[in-house]
């Protein structure tokens, strides 16, 4: 199978650890080279983050375990890029 190069996930996490610490923890996951954490929503008890992960062969099960270990839950997988290189979205008339 083609390796996963980019994974975009929607994550719900408690306020602690901080978003910085959470992103650093996920970045330490095997085969994850970089993480972008964007705050989507904040309430009194939790934060909703969009995480964009890039690497050579990202393993979803490893990412899921790392998110759980840091106290978070994956709500959805919003984008997956597989293959030899990263493919950027191309604008379409519907956009």
Amino acid 50: pLDDT? 98
One pLDDT digit (tens) per residue for the chain, 95 residues = 899 999 999 999 999 999 999 999 999 999 999 999 999 999 999 999 999 999 999 999 999 999 999 999 999 999 999 999 888 888 888 87
Domain spans of the chain? 4-75
Token representation of residue 9: 């996930």
Amino acid 26: pLDDT? 98
Amino acid 90: pLDDT? 83
Token representation of residue 34: 């970089």
Is the pTM above the cut of 0.75? yes
Provide the CATH topology of domain 4-75: Alpha-Beta Plaits (3.30.70)
Residue ranges of alpha helices (H) inside 8-87 are 19-27, 60-69
């Amino acid at each position: 199978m083609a390796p996963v190069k980019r994974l975009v996930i929607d994550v719900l996490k408690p306020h602690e650890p901080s978003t910085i610490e959470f992103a650093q923890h996920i970045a330490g996951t095997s085969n994850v080279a970089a993480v972008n954490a964007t705050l989507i929503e904040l309430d009194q008890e939790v934060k909703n983050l969009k995480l964009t992960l890039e690497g050579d062969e990202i393993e979803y099960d490893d990412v899921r375990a790392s998110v759980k270990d840091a106290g978070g839950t994956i709500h959805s997988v919003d984008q997956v890029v597989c293959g030899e290189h990263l493919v950027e979205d191309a604008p379409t008339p519907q956009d």
